Structure 1
Amino acid sequence: MGSALPLAACALCGRLFARKCHMRRHEATHSGPQHPCQFCGKAFARSDVARRHAQSCATRTRHEPLQKAKRGRKPHACGRCFTQKLSCGPQRPCLRCLRHGLPCTGVGVGVESNSSSTSSASPDGNHVDHTSLFLEITDPKLQYATGFLGSKEPWCNRKMRHHLEQYAPHSDQDLGAPTLDIPFWGFDDPLSDLLLDDSRYRNSALLPNQHPTCNLEFRLNQLTTDLREVCTTHPSIGQGLSFSVTNYTAILSVENFLNLVDLFFVRWHSQWPILHWPTFDLEKASLPLLLAVALSGAAFSRAEDSVETDPVFAKAFYQTAEAYIFDRLDALCSPADGIEPILNDDTIEVCQAALLVEVIQKSVNDTGIRRRMFAKRHPTLVAALRSLGILGVKHRDSTMPSWGLFIREELLVRLAIWTFLTDALPTLFCNQPPSMILSEMIGDLPCDEKLWNAATETDFSKEWRKTTTTQHRPSVQQLVTNLFDDNWDHWLRGSRGRLSVDHLNIMIWALQPIIFNLRTTVPMQSSLSRVLRALHRWWSAWDDTPQSNRVGLASHAPELARLTKNILEAGLRNDAKFSTYLSGLALEDTMHIHELIKAVRVGDQSR
């Protein structure tokens, strides 16, 4: 038999312990701080024991029970960083707010409980909106609004991560590890404090540097060559853009490219789900789409020394990528006279790339970029979708459709819907006349996300049998028409359970071009009652949706409904303070709508 383990003795009371760590913990009870019970005064050496005692003591002494504290680490970030799930140092103002020229509020304690604008309080009530997405996103001091258009919570899908890891090179760098060295981007990385290189995602064996990686590297080299040609074709665009080895590897090396794709799916995909990740193939996707996905991921990345950024290079690179993608779109959708454009996979992917780049570019606080997107790029994309017949795509009636056919049709449905939403954004914020009309939005609404994210055909079949929202989905036109119709209550009862949060979000955005046209063409008094009735009906439908389903950008739909009502009321009063915005004149900045939102918010809080 082995010898007995040596015992450790407490120096104060002589009690013996088998482990020194137990002995040290015991000694701390002699000299450490005491934690008294707030009800009976009894002291305890350990805070957790005192807390458990106080819970039972409150019941015995007939005091109010203690409120359970929220578990986990307490927030120490400033209010702005906290709402975006970012961390910052203890100094105020923090470096991130200083870099973007934004006011830095205090510690974000308690912000989380109020961060969602999803209260089902009626717009007629005295609801106080503590955090306003639209107040943040329209701030004229904000250099980039991309962070607000993506997901605050990481969309971590294990199957999606494993799907991307098959392309990862055999190296010491883990997919998703925040070690990018992008010396020109200057965007904040919400993932810098999250352990996305968790062991759950690293258990899958990475392939060695064989055909997948080599093929991807070859395609990225071809993409670099194409971008050089764009600089030659458009010399004014390429000014300030140098394809040095450093700048090339910053985004188009295999390692960094895969990290940017990963960031796209983690932060962007859940809010703009126009790509089908289970069938998204880096070796087969068109080069414009690969570039757009990488640029979207780069919007959520930053270098460790992000203060030393090169904004000239960043702007030139984005502009070059934009020209490259829209040149391809023109070539595919504007063929020679007498030849109809062909709707194939390449055309669809170029349209997807154009939409992604448009969203990124519109989020940059630059008048020249916005003017180009409003006047040239967005109308080009809308014209392409019209010529290809994408705006009216419906799913074919089938008891059990094939997975491939369903996904192809759903890709077109989502491309049309999210282009329509992108069209409504500048209509609300900048009074830009809509490029799309409600009567052409006769295609289906998006399907259920579980059905869309099914990773295999087997998973798709299971979800198809479970879901009840796949058949007989109305179009955007039918949604809005029913919202204004006298038989709305009857239609809503028949649609109960089939209207999702995303559908209601689409509905409230679809009202924006209608309200804009009413504000700018007819007296407000003649149409106000019908619009307010439609808003009230929308609220009733929203209140019936489960709270747990209200996540992401769609969760801010009530805030948009309140803002819509406030705009109508300000127009009815002919408020001189907001005459520039209420006049309906097209704008290229968000300053005027920002002032209106801020004034309404201050007025609500003063009630």
Structure 2
Amino acid sequence: MKRPIHSSSLPAALYARKHFLSQRSHEDMSKPVPKNSTSLRLLQPNRAGKGIPVSYASLPKHLATGSYHALAVVPLDDNALSSPKRHLPGIPVALQLAIGETAKCSVRRNLETLNSHIEDALVPTDPMSAFGSDFQLTNLPFQIPSTLPSFTDDYLLQFNLDTLFPSKLSNQLSEIMTELVDTSKSMGLGSTGTLSALDFMELSTLLGVSNISASISAFFHSLHWHLPVVHFPTFDPGNVSNPLLLSIFLSGATYTIPLDGGALPSSLFDVAEEYIFRKIAELSTLASPKEQSQLLSTVQLLQSALIIEMLQFGQDNMQTRRRIRIVRHPCLVSTIRSLGIFQLKRGTAPTVCDENTWKKLVAEEVCIRIACWVFLADGFLTVCFKNHPSISVFEMDCHFPWSAGLWEAESASSFSRIAMSHSTELPLPPFKDVITQLLETTANNGPITWGLSVSVEHLLILIYAINSLAFQARAGLLRYLSLDKIRCASDNWKRIWDSVIGLLNKDQFLHLGYPKHAQELWWLLNATLDASSRDDVSLSYMDNTATDDLGNLNEFIQWCHQSAP
């Protein structure tokens, strides 16, 4: 139950801050993210805030009419070795990329609960202590004028309220900023002369409480739809770990302009990555968590690592991509594997439940989503950069995640209603069993029984899985798996996709986020299967040498378009 806050207990200045945060969330963040301020570079916004020109003139028919940019796009820099402009000459078309599209048309969220949590976390831990008998003017961290005006609320508003009235959330943000500064120094930033160490005062204008409401809301209106591993309805900024709060804050900050107009330091994301993955590495030295608090902290650390991995991999920086691909991602996969999350099965199917049971089901679902979306990230690296998979399809013995409707249900009652409406659907087998059936079920066997129980999110994960198998078979890593089997899986996938999409209306399809590009991945899969059967094809994308350059993929797609009859 929300605690009442009485006007007699807090100075009016605190109400001004709360009112401002609430108004900014309700007014600014209830609108779509401005088109010119949100773009995507490999599932990540352009931090310069510019749209990215993309040439569709040389794309194959299936992609030229779709949204190829969700697969492989970086800013068009003529001088960059990774620039697709080297492979895609033609008429550039300025387009808003996938996350920007999602932010523009995604369902508006009810921010009341989120704002309430933020307000609670901003209540000073000891609001009247500043005026107690021990209070000294010399304790204030700013210069006191020689002639002191009356100590009124108007006077207080001239200063940083978080300094005067520290809250749980402001203290946590200060702790995060201190840890980031220390991490940057330990990385040698500032000593090499290339990048400066992070500065606490500079960070405080960017990562302060004045920006937190807009940043968190921006995250849940944009990147969340592409990486839905944090449960919005139960998310409480005042009760999450430092790494998760940081990763969400930074994700949202890439889509918003700080109130003080400052720009995010270029080294901030690298430092945040180092800070989070140091904690991931520490998990290997600790005993498996058994207490609920330890489990929650571990899960939130995994969530933060997956978010920062996606943010960092989206940078147009070859060294950053390589570090994420060959160091960070395998480290995250190994950690998740050691915790047994790839074999996690839910104890209870979604059903009518009370709030406590709902929250327990959500906690279990979060772990399943971590497994599935880190697998999706693994498939992304394979499809775009020919990275050898770090996760075997057949070790994915976990259940599939809930559909978006169940995951986004705002309350236990809403969840119960949706669960009841799906109660007649056949339950999905574990992940690896679904893949096995796709590989082995021929058209003569009739439709797959659970075909209409899958969601578009499931189909997105599955098409990445089939692409991963195709790459391994092509590279000679799965000699027992014939290309005919993979074609069979591809055909089965497409039949199910057509059936599922046929049940959606246009508005629902627009809100799918990244899953709406799954059919393009199916097209790419079939193109590689066709190219594998030809002796006259000699393209870099068809070999098994990993790269951090999107040029191989772009060259292959251009070749497919030119070779089309």
Q: Give the TM-score normalised by structure 1.
A: 0.66
Deviation per CA, 1:528-565: give whole Å up to 9, x if none. 33222221221111111124253321111111111111
Return the letter of the residue paired with 2:210. E
In the alignment, structure 1 residue 584 sits paired with structure 2 residue 544? yes
Return the letter of the residue paired with 2:183. V
Contact 2:378 2:391 in 1 (8 A): yes
**Partner residue of 1:571?**
532
Counterpart Cα distance in 2 of 1:97 and 1:232? 24
Counterpart Cα distance in 2 of 1:320 and 1:540? 45
**Partner residue of 1:532?**
487
What SS does the aligned partner of 1:370 have? helix
In the alignment, structure 1 residue 375 sits paired with structure 2 residue 326? yes
* Alpha-carbon shift at residue 264 of structure 1 (Å): 0.2
Counterpart Cα distance in 1 of 2:117 and 2:369? 27
Return the letter of the residue paired with 2:522. A
**Partner residue of 1:394?**
345
Match of 2:362 among 401, 407, 426: 407
Equivalent residue runs for 1:343-354 within 5 Å: 344-354=295-305
Counterpart Cα distance in 1 of 2:73 and 2:300? 30
Contact 1:167 1:212 in 2 (8 A): no
Match of 1:284 among 239, 252, 255: 239
* Alpha-carbon shift at residue 463 of structure 1 (Å): 2.2
What SS does the aligned partner of 2:239 have? coil
Counterpart Cα distance in 1 of 2:277 and 2:209? 24
**Partner residue of 2:4?**
none
Match of 1:226 among 147, 170, 179: 179
Tell me: CA distance 1:566–1:487, structure 2 relative to 1, closer, same or farther (3 Å): closer
Counterpart Cα distance in 2 of 1:586 and 1:466? 45
Counterpart Cα distance in 2 of 1:590 and 1:237? 32
Counterpart Cα distance in 2 of 1:128 and 1:381? 32
Deviation per CA, 1:312-357: give whole Å up to 9, x if none. x31x1111100111111122x2125xx3355600000000000000
**Partner residue of 1:254?**
209
Match of 2:430 among 475, 490, 498: 475
Tell me: CA distance 1:217–1:87, structure 2 relative to 1, closer, same or farther (3 Å): closer
Q: Identify unmatched segments of 5+ residues in structure 2.
A: 1-32, 38-45, 85-94, 123-160
Counterpart Cα distance in 1 of 2:227 and 2:444? 31
* Alpha-carbon shift at residue 492 of structure 1 (Å): 3.8
Equivalent residue runs for 1:358-373 within 5 Å: 358-373=309-324
What SS does the aligned partner of 1:443 have? coil
* Alpha-carbon shift at residue 273 of structure 1 (Å): 1.0
Deviation per CA, 1:130-172: give whole Å up to 9, x if none. 244247733473799998452513334442454235526999x
Equivalent residue runs for 1:95-244 within 5 Å: 103=53, 129-134=64-69, 137-139=72-74, 141=76, 148=97, 150=99, 152-154=101-103, 155-160=106-111, 162-164=113-115, 166-167=117-118, 214-236=167-189, 240-244=195-199
Return the letter of the residue paired with 1:466. S
**Partner residue of 1:443?**
398
Deviation per CA, 1:59-115: give whole Å up to 9, x if none. xxxxxxxxxxxxxxxxxxxxxxxxx98259xxxxxxx9998695478xxxxx9xxxx
| Cα RMSD for the two superposed structures | 3.9
**Partner residue of 1:429?**
384
Counterpart Cα distance in 2 of 1:99 and 1:293? 19
**Partner residue of 2:154?**
none
Counterpart Cα distance in 2 of 1:364 and 1:512? 24
**Partner residue of 1:457?**
412
Tell me: CA distance 1:587–1:575, structure 2 relative to 1, closer, same or farther (3 Å): farther
Equivalent residue runs for 1:493-508 within 5 Å: 493-508=448-463
Contact 1:151 1:271 in 2 (8 A): no
Tell me: CA distance 1:515–1:212, structure 2 relative to 1, closer, same or farther (3 Å): farther
Match of 1:553 among 502, 506, 514: 514
**Partner residue of 2:288?**
340
* Alpha-carbon shift at residue 363 of structure 1 (Å): 1.1
Deviation per CA, 1:357-383: give whole Å up to 9, x if none. 001111112111111111111111111
**Partner residue of 2:254?**
299
Counterpart Cα distance in 1 of 2:528 and 2:244? 37
Return the letter of the residue paired with 1:340. S
Counterpart Cα distance in 2 of 1:147 and 1:430? 23
What SS does the aligned partner of 2:391 have? coil
Q: Give the TM-score normalised by structure 2.
A: 0.71
Counterpart Cα distance in 2 of 1:601 and 1:167? 51
In the alignment, structure 1 residue 419 sits paired with structure 2 residue 381? no
Counterpart Cα distance in 2 of 1:157 and 1:102? 25
Tell me: CA distance 1:298–1:98, structure 2 relative to 1, closer, same or farther (3 Å): closer
Tell me: CA distance 1:102–1:448, structure 2 relative to 1, closer, same or farther (3 Å): closer
* Alpha-carbon shift at residue 393 of structure 1 (Å): 1.1
Q: Identify unmatched segments of 5+ residues in structure 1.
A: 1-83, 89-95, 106-110, 112-116, 118-122, 172-207
Counterpart Cα distance in 1 of 2:487 and 2:361? 38
Contact 1:263 1:297 in 2 (8 A): yes
Counterpart Cα distance in 1 of 2:222 and 2:533? 40
* Alpha-carbon shift at residue 241 of structure 1 (Å): 3.8
Contact 2:313 2:324 in 1 (8 A): yes
What SS does the aligned partner of 1:153 have? helix
Equivalent residue runs for 1:54-133 within 5 Å: 86=35, 103=53, 129-133=64-68
Determine which structure has more spread, i.e. the larger CA radius of gyration: 1
Deviation per CA, 1:262-303: give whole Å up to 9, x if none. 110011122211011121111110000011001211232357
Counterpart Cα distance in 2 of 1:211 and 1:468? 54
In the alignment, structure 1 residue 595 sits paired with structure 2 residue 550? no
Contact 2:52 2:75 in 1 (8 A): no
* Alpha-carbon shift at residue 510 of structure 1 (Å): 0.7
Counterpart Cα distance in 2 of 1:436 and 1:575? 32
Higher RCO (C-alpha 8 Å, min separation 6): 2
Return the letter of the residue paired with 1:518. A
* Alpha-carbon shift at residue 234 of structure 1 (Å): 2.0
What SS does the aligned partner of 1:515 have? helix
What SS does the aligned partner of 1:374 have? helix
Counterpart Cα distance in 2 of 1:280 and 1:479? 31
What SS does the aligned partner of 2:238 have? coil
**Partner residue of 1:14?**
none
Contact 1:448 1:469 in 2 (8 A): no
Contact 1:135 1:594 in 2 (8 A): no
Deviation per CA, 1:196-237: give whole Å up to 9, x if none. xxxxxxxxxxxx999998221111011111112212322248
Counterpart Cα distance in 2 of 1:260 and 1:321? 16
**Partner residue of 2:150?**
none
